[in-house]
Each structure stands twice: as C-alpha cells, then as structure tokens.
Amino acid sequence: MIPVAGESFRHVLLWLFAPVMIYQVLVHTSYLILICLAGSDFVRQLRRTAYASHDRRVSSLLAHGVSLVVPAFNEEAGIVTTVQAMLALRHPRHEIIVVDDGSTDRTFDVLAERFALVTIPRQVPQDVQAEGEVLGVYIPDDGRTRLTVVRKRNAGKTAAVNTGINAATEELVAVVDADSILDPDALLAVGAPFADDPVHTIATGGVIRAANGCRVVDGRVVEVRMPPNWLSRVQVVEYLRAFLLGRSGWSRLRCLILISGAFGMFRRDLLVQVGGFAPGTVGEDFEVIMRLHQKMRREGRTYRILFVPDPIAWTEVPSTFAVLARQRRRWHRGLYEVLVRYRWMLGNPRYGRIGLVVVPWFWAFELLTPLFDAIGLVLMLVGLHFGLVDLSLFGIYLLLTMGYSFLVALATLAIEEFSFHKYPRWRDLGVAVMAAMVESFGYHQLNSVWRLQGMWDGLRRTERVWGVMTRSGFTADDRVLAAADHQAAVARQLAEQVDGRSAVVPAATPWPGEGRRP
C-alpha cells in the first residue's frame, strides 16, 4: 500500500502528466490533419502541373527570368556537380550566381578549373545590406555560360545570400543550397505560380528530399534509393513529413510561413524592399518569410506564398550523429529566434490567420514540443522508479506518443507512395517503414534533446556560425560531367532560340518598379 505522502505525490504526478498526454494527442492530431490536407491537394496540383505544361512554358517568354543564388562555404566536394545540374535546368532564361563566402577549402579552385573562370571588372551593387568585402567577380571565359562566381570575405550565410541578391539580374531570385541538386523541371514548376498569377505570387518553395543513397547521372537523380545509413534513412521519413506533407498542408490553407533555404523562389523587388535576408539569425529563411507576411499584411495587399510539392531539390543529409546534432540545434535555435522576434504577431488579428492560427501553432507545437517531450518522459520515469505509475499507464503513454507518431509517419509514407511513387523497389519501401519505426521509437526523443539544446543556445545568445557539414559529394565522373556540359549547351541554345523570337513574342512584363536589370 502506498503511504499517504506517496499517494499525494502520485496525484500530483498524474495531475502534471495529464496535460502532457493531451498535448501529445493534439500535436500528432494536428500533423495528421495537415497530412490529410496535403494528400487531398496533391492530385489536383499534379494534374495541373503535368510535364506538357512545362514544355509550353519552356518555349514561352512569359516565364520570368530567374537568378539562382547559391551561397557556398567549404563545398568543395559537391559544388561542381551542383553547378552542372543547374546549368542543365530546363528554363528559357536563368543565370547561376555562386557566392563563395570565404571558403577555406578548394571551393573556388574547383569551380575555376572546371569552368575556366576569368575575372571581370564588375561592381556588385548594394541594393540590400551585405557584409563582407567582395574580392572579385568571375565568369567562364567562353562568355556564353550564364554562370557568375562572386568571391567575398567570410561574413556568414545571410551575407552571402544578400550578395547574391545584389548580383542578380533577373526578376525572380531562387535561393538554393550549394549541396542541392534540382530536378530538371524544378525552376519551371516552382516558377509556375508566378506565371499563373504574377501580381499576387511573391514567393514559392519546393520540396526537399534526401539524396543519400540515390544514383546521380548527368547532374541529376536518376534512381531513388534509401540511404545505406540508418541515421540517413530516418531523416528520409522526417523530411517527407516536415518538408513535403507538413508544408503542403499549410500551403493549402494559405498559411505557409516557412520556405526552406535549400530551395525557394522570391520576387527580387520585394526582397529588396524588405532589406533582403536579415543578419543576426540562423533561421534566415524563416525570418524573411515572416517579414514578407508582415509587409503585405500591414499594407493590406493580397498576396500568395505557396509550396510546390513536386519539383524536388535533393540534398545530402547528415550521416553522423555529431553533424546531425549540430544541424538540429541550429534549426531549433533559428525557430526560437524568429518566433521571439515576431512575438507580437502571436494572436494578433491584424495578421489574419497568420497571427491567429499559424504563429500560435508554431509556438505550441513546434517550439515547445521538445520541452513537453522531456517533461513527459521525466514524469513517467520518476513515477516508474518510485512505483507511483503502473505499467498500463506507461503503455498508454507510449501508445499516445510514439505509437501515434508512428501512425503519422506511416500515413506520410502511404500518401507519398500514392502521389509520387519515388521509391519503386519494394525493398526500399520496407526499409522506409522500419525507418519510420526507428524515427518514432528512439530518434524522435534524441532529436528532442538536440532541439532543447538549440533553444538553450538561443536563450544564451551564443555566437552564430555557419553550419559546417562534412560531405561525401554526389556520384559523378568525367563522363557524367561531359554529358552535363552537352546538356547545358542544349539549354543555352534553347534560350537563344527563345530570345530570337522576341521580335514577335512580347517580353515578360516586369514586376512593378523592377525592370530586368542589365
């Protein structure tokens, strides 16, 4: 029989534990709702963005020009393959701007060797604040390849992105991580909302998937496989839920407040108006979207920020615990800093559903989730240790937390397989299901620890640094790069043919106050 003091402590423990249980149910239920919204929207979007429509956009000058800004810091392993893939993208008018942010490895050297770069006497304007002195601007010596490499002193990723925005000469700016490989039609698909509604569309984002284990040929992913490393496999499931279905659900509700820095497209004129990406935060991709929402809501303007579920940016995810821990700490610190910076939006009806729904949801179910995870686990372990909680209650806790999380992961895999069928091998699907189990029973709890550390870093305001990740690079050889060179040449010829028709086809209408810069 439990003593009176023990019985009182048990009641206190259960009283504290009840809201934790309710919280966990609400978190996973909200994710399940977002996943269902995303799934119902996929078929409609995929039908509307059939590849035939991409072919029409390739030959149409209604496709606005795009400047791909690629901030790079110590990306020697994969930067050449990334640039090759971007040169071969299907788009009538796009340029690539690589900003080398003071790399200490051979990032610039491998680019210079591969593309025969030569320096040009070009001044990069200061349309938005960009720290770090520009050391030089380089282009290929053939004078035809639309590649610009800007070397600057190290000042962080935000400064590198802003330098790229300043150097951009097209109406749209796409920010792409240097370790990313885009699908061939990625620019056309992500740019489609701008062509469909150029007045109201101000930003779009594409889905991010893990490239680990995939086969890359001609600078593109030709065979999708699950990674050989279990840590990377778990991240495949995590990316599907967060980057594909979660953001698709918010986009369906017109409530998207986060576009991944690995692949996002913006109107350049609006980026300049809001001052570019803000220094002083590690969540610069999140912060700039919040600032765009703030600007448009305060001015009472109708606008759209959308997520496009397919095209894909493939990225190399961490394969070691040390690198993954640093990444997740940085991500959650960025979330904390941005939410605190825009805390006045919380529950503010002036910002509509953004202030009344999305910001409260991110505070409750993104920022505070690791804290509630830790509280629930500690309460349960304390109760078990002192005999105040029986195993049946512990089983209910596991069912409502880890079991519900596993159900959400399975729903994610089912919708992904039905909508996109990216993993054709049954073996990969089986591995994905097992990875979903590992993600729910073990990885999620470990990730909560890293996220708590990230929040603590934000509270302490420790020094912000670039997230350095050791990369193995994508699979490529000389034959692959030669083929990519040929494909890039074909893309240039297509662009020239389109430019040659400019006498009979009207040029794209520039954004208000922003013509095509020379």
- Report whether 158 contacts 279 (CB < 8 A): yes
Q: How many structural domains are present in the chain?
A: 1
> Smallest Cα–Cα separation from 512: which of 321, 337, 203, 268?
268
Tell me, what's the pLDDT at 490? 42
pLDDT band of 471, cuts 50, 70, 90: low
Closest among 134, 138, 120 to 162, alpha carbons compared: 134
The region, left, alpha or beta by phi > 0 then psi within -120 to 50, assigned to residue 300 is left
What element of type H or E holds 208? strand 201-210
On whether the CB atoms of residues 511 and 198 are closer than 8 A, the answer is yes
Confidence class for position 61, pLDDT limits 50, 70, 90 = very low
Q: Which residue reads 């990316």 in tokens? A: 239
Residue that is written with structure tokens 């297509």 in the block? 494
Check residue 7 and give its pLDDT: 72
Per-position DSSP letters for 376-404, written without gaps between them: HHHHHHHHHHTT-S-HHHHHHHHIIIIIH
Q: Is residue 493 part of a domain?
A: yes
pLDDT value of position 15? 85
Domain that holds residue 109: 50-318+476-500
Convert 214-250 into a string of H (helix), E (strand) and C (coil): CEEECCEEEECCCCCCHHHHHHHHHHHHHHHHHHHHH
Residue 103 domain flag: yes
Which pLDDT band, with edges at 50, 70 and 90, does 464 fall under?
Answer: low
Give the pair of three-digit tokens for residue 422.
């990216």
Q: How confident is the model at residue 4 (pLDDT cuts 50, 70, 90)?
A: very low
Residue 409 in any domain: the answer is no
Q: What is the CA radius of gyration of the chain?
A: 24
Tokens read off for 7: 């019985």
* Residue 156: strand, helix, or coil: coil
Q: How far apart are CA 228 and CA 358, in angstroms?
A: 36
Helix (H, G, I), strand (E, B) or coil at 477: coil
Confidence of residue 517 (pLDDT cuts 50, 70, 90): very low
Phi, then psi, of 466 in degrees rounded to 5: -60, 145
* CA 7 centroid distance within chain: 49
Structure-model confidence comparison of residues 310 and 496, the more confident one? 310
- 80, part of any domain: yes
Q: What is the DSSP string of 64-108?
A: --EEEEEEESS-TTTHHHHHHHHHT---SSEEEEEEEES-SSSHH
Mean pLDDT value of segment 419-437? 89
Mean pLDDT of 331-359: 96
Answer whether residue 304 shows pLDDT above 90: yes
pLDDT in tens, 75-95: 998 899 889 889 989 898 999
Q: Which two tokens stand for residue 282?
A: 């590690």
For residue 34, which amino acid is it? L
Q: Which residues pair with 313 in a beta bridge?
A: 182, 208
Of 216-225, 464-473, 500-509, give the range with the top mean pLDDT: 216-225
Instruction: Quote the pLDDT of residue 488.
Output: 46
Q: Is the pLDDT of residue 96 over 80?
A: yes
In a domain, 510, yes or no: no
Which CATH number belongs to the domain containing residue 168 in this structure?
Answer: 3.90.550.10
Q: Does some domain include residue 385?
A: no
Backbone φ/ψ region at 254: left (φ over 0), alpha (ψ -120 to 50), beta: left
Residue 50: count other Cβ atoms within 10 Å of its Cβ.
Answer: 9
CA angle 228/231/233 to nearest 5° reads 55
Residue pointed to by tokens 């397989």? 417
As beta bridge partners, residue 120 has 137
Name the pLDDT band for 466 (thresholds 50, 70, 90). low
Please give the full DSSP string across 99-140, using - where no structure is assigned. Answer: EEES-SSSHHHHHHHHHTEEEE--PPP-SS---S-EEEEEEE
Q: How far apart are alpha carbons 458 and 384 in whole angstroms?
A: 33
Q: Work out the pLDDT band at 489, boundaries 50, 70, 90.
A: very low
Terminal-to-terminal C-alpha distance of the chain: 84
- Per-residue pLDDT for 45 more than 50? yes
Query: Does any domain span residue 130?
Result: yes
Which residues sit opposite 149 in a β-bridge?
98, 138
Q: Which structure tokens are listed for 385?
A: 């240790």
* 48 CB burial (10 A radius; 0-12, 13-18, 19+): exposed
Residue 115 CB partners (closer than 8 Å, separation 6+): 83, 140, 145, 147, 149
- Give 219-237 pLDDT, tens digit per residue: 788 899 999 999 999 999 9
> What pLDDT sits at residue 64?
85
Rounded to the nearest integer, the mean pLDDT of the chain is 84
Tell me what the mean pLDDT of segment 445-450 comes to: 95
Q: Is residue 345 part of a domain?
A: no
DSSP string covering 422-479: ---SHHHHHHHHHHHHHIIIIIHHHHHHHHHHHHHHHHHTPPP-------------HH
- Which has the higher per-residue pLDDT, 292 or 144? 292
Enter the tokens of residue 319: 């394969």
